[in-house]
Structures are given as C-alpha cells and as structure tokens.
C-alpha cells in the first residue's frame, strides 16, 4: 500500500477486497485486506476475507504479502496468519512479534491460533522460549497497564507451553520475564524459581532476581543476582543490575562498590560507566559526574544499547532538564490575571523596575495590568551590566520598545516547532536546536525581543496558561539557536560567542539567563570551551552577588542554578551558587495551580 494512501474504514476496505477477489485481482485485494487488518487485527470478518483470498490464490496466499523494504504492518500480520495456516506457526509468530515491536499497544496476536493449547505442542520448547524473549525485547519493562491486554495472548502461549514442557528451564525463565513485564509478578517468581531448581544458570538467576525485585523482595533479588555473578564473574551487566538494586534501596556506597568492581575489570563497560556516574551524582550532587557521563556518551557513540541514566539524572533539575519558572510580583500578577482571579487589583506596585521581558509579557498578555515603580535603585537595573552589551529594548518614557526588528515568519514557524520547557539533558537540547541553524542573526535576536504567540497545539494551549513560561521557552531556544550560528568560526573569535556574551552582560533580564544557559550548554558539548565558559559564569554570578548587596536581583536564583549546572566551575563559585540556592529558594507549592501546570509540562 503506498505510504500516502489513507486507509478506508475496515468495512469499506473489506468490500473492495471482495470485489477485487471476484475480479481476480488478488494483489489489489491483498492491499485492502492488509489495510483492514492493520486497523482491526482481531475482527473476524477480516480473517474471513484473508482466508477467502488465500483460497483464491491456490498457493496459500503467503506470497501475496511479500516482505520487501519497509513492509506495511498489515501485510506483515497477514503473512504471519497465512504462514500459521500453512503449518509454519513459528515463522508466523516471529512476524507477529515484529508487529508488536512496531505498535506494542495493538492486539496483533489476539487470534485463536496463537492462544490454542495445541500450538504449544507444535512448537519446540527452545523456539517458544526464543519467541517469548523476542516479545520481551519488543516491549518496555514493565509494560504500562494500558498496554498489557495486547500482550495477553503471548502470556497464554507461555502458560500453554509451560504446561506442555514443564521441565524446560529456558522456557520457564523466558515465560517469567514476560509475566513480570505484564504485572504477573507472583507467576514470574514461580516460573523463574522452577527454572533455577531444574537447571541452575546465570540467566535463570537473573530472571529470578528481576522477578523478586519487581515484587519488592530486595534481599531475595540480591541473593539471586549474586548467584548469577558466581555462575559468570565476567558478565558485568549483572554487577550493574546489583548496583541499581542496591541504589533503589538507598544503599549507595554498596552500589558503588559493585560498580567499582565492574570498572576494575573493564573501565569502558558502558552499563557500569552510566550507572556509576548517575549514582555518584545522586550521592553528592556534583554536576561533574553528569558532564563526565555526557563526555563518555559522545566518545562512545556505538554503545551496545541505549541508556537513560543521563536523562534520569537531569530530569526536573533547573537548567539541566528544564527552564526555571519566572518569579516576581509582575509574573505572579500576570498568572492570576490569566487565570481570571478577580480578587487582586489591576495595579502592581514595585520597589524597582521589573526585568524587561516580564514587563513586556504583562503588557502583551494582560494589558489591563498597571505597573507602578516607586523608585529606580542603584545600580540602575535598566542599564546593561557592562558597557557595549547588546540592547534589545529602549525606554520611551515609561514604555519599553524593542530595539531590534521583528523576526521573519519562517523564524517564528521554526521556533514554535521546537520550543519546549523541558529537555532530556543539555547535549540533547543542543542537538534539537540544530533546526534553527540556518536562521539569520537578526531573526534570532528578533525572537528574543518579539516572542511570538504559543503555537495552536496541545503544548501551546497548556503554555498559554502561563505566558511568562512560553516567553522563557522562546528565549532559551533562540539562544540555543545562536550556538549553531556560523559554527565554522573558531569559538574564541566567533559571532555566536560575542553575541551571547553581549546578551549575558545586558540588563538583568530573562534573556540573561537564556544566553548564559546557551554558553553552559556549549561547555557541555565542547570540552575545549569549558574554561572560557566557567570564567563567564563565575564573573556573572559574582556581579549578581555584588549588586544584591544594594538591591534585589530578580534573576539571581536562576543564575545560581545555571552555575551549578556549569562544567568546570571552581569550588568557590560553586559554593556561592549553592548558598544562593539554599537561601533564596522559591519553588511553586505542590498543590498550587503553577505547580500542577509545571508538572504537566515537564512530564516527558
């Protein structure tokens, strides 16, 4: 079926299939049957049409669904059923498992021939075990509750096979692995324990250990995994599993001892390296462990499998995995105004001018708000912190006016596709921002001063509940886009470095944070720029600390979090940043509207 063809409803596809069969156009009929099967894989009428097609073909119909290139999933599943009907059920199951891997939540195997008890008699126990292991490899561990029903036929196959082959240890272990993934933990323990009693082995003990761990029986899990190590001391994956199990119960020192044992055998073993860096960061909070992990990932792109340790460690952490929410009286009033809270007055009285981005966002999203500033303290927050810094706005009386042209429609469209308040980790954010690489410098600067409206998407509608958050997203991703500007230029004399520094040392604003985050991200992805970026971070935080002795610095807390996310920071600056975050912490209350919005946006 051509990729650009949209399937009709199953009933209409089947009608066309029957007409094509009557006309002898079996290839055309096969396309319609495959389209119907992809939408309704357990519908009896679809299988009746498939059987009729096979009968008309005279050769069983298997070759009407060839596997060439990127095969259509409906054709794969049709071929699977026809192979089973032709007496080749193991080959058919292999294809059904492939379909499950493609769309795990679809009930591809919910058909009588898969769940029939006699199928287990027809399959060799070794082959069934391999099929069950293929299913396990195709799905998450554990499978979310909503997706477990689609795997029920495979679990039925496992039950039937264990009944027919009760003494096959490998089958029992594979069946245990599947049962554990779909929440049948007691059954998983039962099957794995039987397998180990029948034939003690490393893999059997691993399956048993995982089953115990899923049941929360940590002591038994560690004992089983320890026996697995005794079977094969060279399998360092088990060392990492033991370390992860210990860490889950808060026993970090013991966990790291196992990691060190693994690394002593192989310093480049990916599972141990990833787990070790994650656990060391979990123990002391030093971002250097995560930077080292990012370096390892960059230097070893061909790891045996994907690891989520870096993303797990950065998730929910300011600037490591998400933008920090804006704070201040203007932003608080703006959020209440957008929420329709009528209890508050329309006047926001400030002791000092708010950051320009906050003022501009309020004027755009809640023009009814009036902002009154009692005085302008020294040093003047409306002036750049260094001479020659880039000015994005200028004051026209009490009005803020952008000092740069608006961005092009193309720049707006690309930015709206990318901007998000969360990312897996800084290198991932850098990679994602490559989509802005061809934007011009005026466009990128224009996005900072003229943030577009949020896109008409589900994410955009959620962000619309807090306009300040959307503006911060725009500015963060625009500055990440600046990192990709003229990357052929050497860093020290590059346009991207110069412009980001000009923004860092401009007026105290959300753009300051966004530009500094871009520099911090550059340090994550390029070890060569780390000393330079560390000096900038140190100087900017020190400047904020000095100014804070005379007046409030609204961005100080965020700058401190940025410093703590920065590679190669000196201990004194890190201590200052830690002290600032400890004394100026402001986190949305868990039950507040902002807290709920934030959790929804950063859950990814």
Residues 166, 426: Cα–Cα separation, whole Å: 51
Per-residue model confidence (pLDDT) at position 342: 60
322: phi then psi, degrees, rounded to nearest 5: -165, 155
**Position 116 pLDDT exceeds 90:** yes
Per-residue model confidence (pLDDT) at position 388: 85
Q: Are 427 and 298 in contact (CB under 8 A)?
A: yes
**Position 346 pLDDT exceeds 90:** no
Question: Could you tell me the pLDDT band of residue 288, with boundaries at 50, 70 and 90?
Answer: very high
Q: Do the domain assignments include residue 577?
A: yes
Q: Which of 127-141, 331-345, 375-389, 463-477 has the lowest mean pLDDT?
A: 331-345
Q: What is the pLDDT of residues 364-408, one digit of tens each?
A: 988 888 888 888 899 999 999 998 888 999 887 767 889 999 999
**Position 267 pLDDT exceeds 90:** yes
Looking at the structure, tell me whether residues 371 and 508 fall in a common domain. Answer: no
Looking at the structure, tell me whether residues 434 and 508 fall in a common domain. Answer: yes
**Position 341 pLDDT exceeds 90:** no
The residues pairing with 372 across neighbouring beta strands, listed in sequence order, are 349
- Give me the long-range contacts of 8-16 (CB less than 8 A, separation at least 24): 8/35, 9/39, 10/35, 10/36, 10/39, 10/40, 10/43, 10/45, 10/46, 11/45, 13/39, 14/45, 14/46, 14/49
Looking at the structure, tell me whether residues 425 and 546 fall in a common domain. Answer: yes
Q: Are 479 and 515 in contact (CB under 8 A)?
A: yes
Q: Do the domain assignments include residue 60?
A: no
Looking at the structure, tell me whether residues 538 and 556 fall in a common domain. Answer: yes
Q: Among 402, 434, 461, where does a domain finish?
A: 402
Q: Do the domain assignments include residue 344?
A: yes
Higher pLDDT among residues 595 and 32, named by residue: 32
Question: Could you tell me the pLDDT band of residue 171, with boundaries at 50, 70 and 90?
Answer: very high
Per-residue model confidence (pLDDT) at position 304: 57
Residues 136, 188: Cα–Cα separation, whole Å: 13
Per-residue model confidence (pLDDT) at position 595: 59
Q: Are 514 and 475 in contact (CB under 8 A)?
A: yes
* Average pLDDT score over residue span 159-183: 97
Looking at the structure, tell me whether residues 367 and 428 fall in a common domain. Answer: no
Q: Do the domain assignments include residue 544?
A: yes
Q: How is 92-142 classified by DSSP, letter by letter?
A: HHHHHHHHHHH-TTS-TT-SHHHH-HHHHHHS-HHHHHHHHHHHHHHS-SS
Residues 572, 61: Cα–Cα separation, whole Å: 74
Range of the domain at 366: 329-402
Beta strands 370-373 and 347-350 are parallel
Residues 566, 538: Cα–Cα separation, whole Å: 10
Q: What is the pLDDT of residues 436-487, one digit of tens each?
A: 999 999 999 999 999 999 999 988 888 888 899 999 999 999 999 999 999 9
Looking at the structure, tell me whether residues 502 and 572 fall in a common domain. Answer: yes
Q: What is the pLDDT of residues 20-72, one digit of tens each?
A: 999 999 999 999 999 999 999 999 999 999 999 999 998 899 999 999 878 99
Report the chain's mean pLDDT, rounded to a whole number: 92
Higher pLDDT among residues 68 and 591, named by residue: 68
- Give me the long-range contacts of 80-83 (CB less than 8 A, separation at least 24): 81/47, 81/50, 81/111, 81/113, 82/50, 82/54
Count of CB atoms situated within 10 Å of the CB of 154: 29
Tally of domains within the chain: 2
Looking at the structure, tell me whether residues 396 and 420 fall in a common domain. Answer: no
Question: Could you tell me the pLDDT band of residue 344, with boundaries at 50, 70 and 90?
Answer: low
Please calculate the CA angle 245-250-252 and round it to the nearest 5 degrees. Answer: 80
Q: What is the pLDDT of residues 220-241, one digit of tens each?
A: 999 999 999 999 999 999 999 9
Per-residue model confidence (pLDDT) at position 137: 93
Q: Would you give the DSSP letter of residue 526?
A: -
Beta strands 370-373 and 399-402 are unpaired
Per-residue model confidence (pLDDT) at position 602: 58
Q: Do the domain assignments include residue 217?
A: no
Question: Could you tell me the pLDDT band of residue 4, with boundaries at 50, 70 and 90?
Answer: very low
Higher pLDDT among residues 583 and 28, named by residue: 28
Q: CB neighbours of 523 closer than 8 A, spacing ≥ 6?
A: 529, 530, 533, 534, 566, 567, 568
Q: Do the domain assignments include residue 364?
A: yes
* Average pLDDT score over residue span 299-312: 83
Question: Could you tell me the pLDDT band of residue 583, with boundaries at 50, 70 and 90?
Answer: confident
Looking at the structure, tell me whether residues 434 and 473 fall in a common domain. Answer: yes
* Average pLDDT score over residue span 253-271: 96
Q: Where are the alpha helices (DSSP H) in 182-286?
A: 185-198, 202-214, 218-231, 236-248, 252-265, 270-284
* Average pLDDT score over residue span 144-171: 97
Per-residue model confidence (pLDDT) at position 590: 37
Looking at the structure, tell me whether residues 423 and 344 fall in a common domain. Answer: no
Per-residue model confidence (pLDDT) at position 343: 59
Residues 45, 54: Cα–Cα separation, whole Å: 14
Structure tokens at 213: 């761990």
Looking at the structure, tell me whether residues 517 and 570 fall in a common domain. Answer: yes
Residues 416, 515: Cα–Cα separation, whole Å: 19
**Position 594 pLDDT exceeds 60:** no
Q: Would you give the DSSP letter of residue 407?
A: P
Looking at the structure, tell me whether residues 428 and 547 fall in a common domain. Answer: yes
Looking at the structure, tell me whether residues 415 and 561 fall in a common domain. Answer: yes
Please calculate the CA angle 36-37-39 and round it to the nearest 5 degrees. Answer: 70
Q: Taking the C-alpha atoms of 293, 298, 302 and 306 in order, what is their torsion angle to the nearest 10 degrees?
A: 50
Q: Do the domain assignments include residue 192?
A: no
Q: Do the domain assignments include residue 440?
A: yes
**Position 356 pLDDT exceeds 80:** yes
Percent of the chain's residues with pLDDT above 90: 82
Q: Would you give the DSSP letter of residue 277?
A: H
**Position 522 pLDDT exceeds 80:** yes
Burial zone of 575 (CB within 10 Å; 0-12 exposed, 13-18 middle, 19+ buried): exposed
Task: Give the H or E element holding residue 585.
Answer: none
Residues 140, 135: Cα–Cα separation, whole Å: 10
């Amino acid at each position: 079926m051509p990729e650009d063809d949209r399937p009709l409803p199953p009933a209409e596809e089947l009608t066309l299939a029957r007409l094509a069969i009557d006309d002898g156009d079996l290839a055309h009929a096969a396309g319609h049957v495959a389209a119907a099967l992809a939408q309704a894989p357990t519908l009896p009428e679809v299988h009746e049409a498939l059987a009729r097609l096979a009968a008309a073909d005279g050769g069983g119909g298997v070759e009407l669904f060839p596997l060439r290139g990127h095969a259509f999933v409906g054709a794969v599943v049709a071929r699977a059923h026809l192979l089973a009907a032709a007496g080749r059920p193991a080959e058919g199951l292999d294809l059904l498992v492939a379909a499950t891997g493609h769309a795990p939540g679809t009930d591809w195997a919910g058909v009588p021939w898969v769940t029939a008890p006699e199928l287990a008699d027809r399959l060799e126990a070794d082959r069934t075990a391999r099929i069950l292991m293929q299913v396990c490899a195709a799905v998450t561990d554990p499978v979310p509750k909503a997706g477990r029903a689609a795997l029920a036929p495979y679990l039925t196959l496992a039950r039937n096979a264990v009944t027919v082959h009760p003494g096959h240890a490998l089958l029992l272990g594979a069946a245990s692995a599947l049962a554990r993934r779909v929440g049948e933990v007691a059954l998983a323990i039962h099957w794995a324990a039987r397998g180990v009693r029948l034939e003690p082995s490393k893999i059997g003990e691993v399956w048993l250990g995982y089953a115990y761990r899923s049941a929360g029986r940590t002591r038994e899990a560690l004992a089983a995994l320890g026996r697995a190590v005794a079977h094969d001391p060279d399998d360092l994956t088990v060392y990492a599993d033991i370390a992860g199990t210990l860490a889950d119960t808060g026993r970090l020192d013991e966990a790291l001892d196992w990691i060190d044992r693994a690394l002593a055998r192989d310093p480049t073993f990916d599972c141990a390296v990833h787990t070790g860096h994650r656990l060391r960061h979990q123990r002391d909070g030093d971002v250097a462990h995560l930077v080292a992990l990012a370096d390892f990932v960059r230097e070893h792109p061909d790891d045996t499998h994907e690891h989520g340790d870096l993303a797990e460690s950065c998730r929910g952490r300011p600037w490591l995995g998400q933008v920090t929410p804006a704070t201040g009286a203007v932003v608080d009033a703006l959020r209440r105004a957008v929420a329709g809270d009528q209890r508050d007055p329309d006047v926001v009285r400030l002791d000092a001018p708010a950051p320009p981005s906050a003022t501009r966002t309020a004027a755009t999203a809640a023009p009814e708000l009036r902002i009154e500033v009692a005085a302008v303290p020294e040093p003047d927050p409306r002036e750049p912190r260094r001479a020659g810094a880039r000015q994005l706005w200028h004051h026209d009386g009490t009005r803020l006016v952008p000092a740069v042209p608006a961005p092009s429609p193309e720049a707006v469209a690309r930015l709206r596709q990318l901007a998000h308040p969360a990312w897996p980790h800084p290198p991932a954010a850098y990679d994602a921002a490559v989509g802005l690489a061809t934007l011009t410098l005026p466009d990128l600067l224009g996005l900072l001063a003229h943030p577009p409206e949020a896109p008409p998407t589900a994410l955009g509608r959620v962000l619309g509940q807090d306009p300040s958050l959307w503006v911060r997203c725009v500015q963060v991703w625009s500055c990440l886009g600046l990192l990709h500007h003229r990357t052929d230029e050497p860093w020290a004399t590059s346009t991207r470095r110069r412009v980001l520094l000009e923004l860092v040392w401009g007026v105290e604003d959300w753009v300051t944070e966004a530009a500094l985050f871009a520099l911090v991200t550059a340090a994550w992805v390029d070890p060569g720029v780390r000393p330079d970026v560390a000096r900038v971070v140190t100087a900017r935080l020190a400047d904020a600390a000095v100014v804070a002795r005379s007046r409030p610095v609204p961005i100080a807390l965020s700058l401190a979090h940025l410093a703590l996310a920065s590679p190669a920071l000196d201990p004194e600056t890190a201590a200052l940043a830690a002290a600032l975050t400890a004394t100026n912490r402001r986190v949305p209350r868990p039950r507040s509207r902002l807290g709920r919005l934030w959790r929804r946006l950063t859950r990814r």
